[in-house]
Amino acid sequence: MEAAIAKSLKAGGKKLTRARKAILAVLERNTLPITVAEVHAGLVKAKTDVDLVTVYRNLAMLQELGLVNAVGFQEGQMRYEVVHGRAHHHHIQCRGCGKILDLMLCPLKKLTKLIEEQTRFSVDGHALEFFGWCPQCR
Amino acid sequence: MEAAIAKSLKAGGKKLTRARKAILAVLERNTLPITVAEVHAGLVKAKTDVDLVTVYRNLAMLQELGLVNAVGFQEGQMRYEVVHGRAHHHHIQCRGCGKILDLMLCPLKKLTKLIEEQTRFSVDGHALEFFGWCPQCR
DNA sequence: CTGTTAAATGCAATCTACTTGCATGTAAGG
DNA sequence: CCTTACATGCAAGTAGATTGCATTTAACAG
Ligand SMILES: [Mn+2]
Ligand SMILES: [Mn+2]
Ligand SMILES: [Zn+2]
Ligand SMILES: [Zn+2]
């Protein structure tokens, strides 16, 4: 458990519970974004029994605190990955097998400025995912 | 009803039904991507009664034929917009009021090539949406 | 260490988006 | 018209996610 995370939680008036430690541990040992069900399965496997609803509530909370990132691929559900210690980046998913890769890049800094000028929105985030066919499924 | 659309349907072995004409009409009179429920509400308002399940089935079919585009913002549901006659583009949504704007641009052509080389995937699509705060919600 | 309390959890019920099965209706072509 | 494959409506079912509430627990003051 990173000290920085404990600090963020405290700053948000949140407690550092058994369930939260375990959820963060599951997320940290997964490089790629995983579903709520996969987080829950990870908890069960680690013999840390946490109700599924607690997983939902904590992922939502961790996302609000900015400790966890939600990624949507068009699967009808979100996936989650830890933010701490990892650079902002994007993903690609295979339409055949669903495999996901990290893409450690982001081309959107300049464009964001342009969009802010053109729309008068203040832009505070974006979602960029690629889709295609991996070598095995091609 | 565009002739090009009728042609695409026929090419896919699909019939040009009352429901389909009405669904496409609703989509065409909306510039911005709308939810399934909004499509259905549009049909009711136009006094064209079509079951919600028929809307789901047709949107899925129209998407497979490439006539309709699904856009996901992180709302727990998809939105749909017609493709025909509109250039490839992206969107921005306000985190406060949910307002959506079209962004008639795409910065990803070159990057797609790079990703194909680096990952050995063949890339056939991407999702790019921006989030932020509109002038009213700021 | 102990008592207090606000936050967190588990369980059951509920909600919402979406899908499936099947009997009936209808567009399209001959 | 007649035929038939495709499309639709209705009802039921599924899966992901949320809510209400009684109980437990982390955090902290004393
Ligand atoms: Mn990632
Ligand atoms: Mn659009
Ligand atoms: Zn980015
Ligand atoms: Zn694009």
B65-93, pLDDT tens digit by residue?
999 999 999 999 999 999 998 999 999 99
Q: What is the DSSP letter of B5?
A: H
Residues, CB-to-ion distance under 5 Å, ligand 1? A 81, 102
pLDDT of residue A1: 64
Indicate whether B130 pLDDT > 80. yes
Return the nearest residue to D11, CA–C1': B53
Strand D contacts in B 22-61 (CB under 7 A)? 49-51, 53-54, 57-58
Strand D contacts in A 54-93 (CB under 7 A)? 56-57, 60, 76-78
**For residue B109, what is the nearest residue in chain A, using CA coordinates?**
A107
Q: Is there a contact between A41 and A108 (Cβ–Cβ < 8 Å)? A: no
CA A24, A29, A34, A36 dihedral sign is: negative
Return the nearest residue to D19, CA–C1': A53
Q: Which residue of A78, A105, A115 is in closest CB contact with B130?
A: A115
Å: A14 CA to C13 C1': 27
CA B57 to chain A, closest CA, distance in angstroms equals: 16
Indicate whether B1 pLDDT > 80. no
pLDDT of residue B2: 77
Chain A residues within 8 angstroms (CB to CB) of chain B: 70, 72, 74, 78, 92, 94-95, 101, 103, 105, 107-108, 111-112, 115-116, 118-135, 138
Helix (H) and strand (E) counts in chain B: 5, 6
From first to last of the 138 residues of chain A, give the pLDDT tens digit: 678 899 999 999 999 999 999 999 999 999 999 999 999 999 999 999 999 999 999 999 999 999 999 999 989 899 999 999 999 999 999 999 999 999 999 999 999 999 999 999 999 999 999 999 999 998
Domains and CATH numbers, chain A: 1-86 (1.10.10.10), 87-138 (3.30.1490.190)
Q: Which residues of A touch B121 (CB under 8 A)?
A: 92, 94, 101, 130, 132-135
What tens digit of pLDDT does each residue of B5-62 get? 999 999 999 999 999 999 999 999 999 999 999 999 999 999 999 999 999 999 999 9
Where would I find the H helices in A1-138?
3-11, 18-28, 36-45, 52-64, 109-119
CA–CA distances in Å: residue A115 to residues A89, A93, A97, A128, B101: 20, 26, 35, 15, 11
The nucleotide minimizing the C1' distance to residue B20's CA is D7
Q: How many CA atoms lie within 13 A of B18 on its CB side?
A: 7
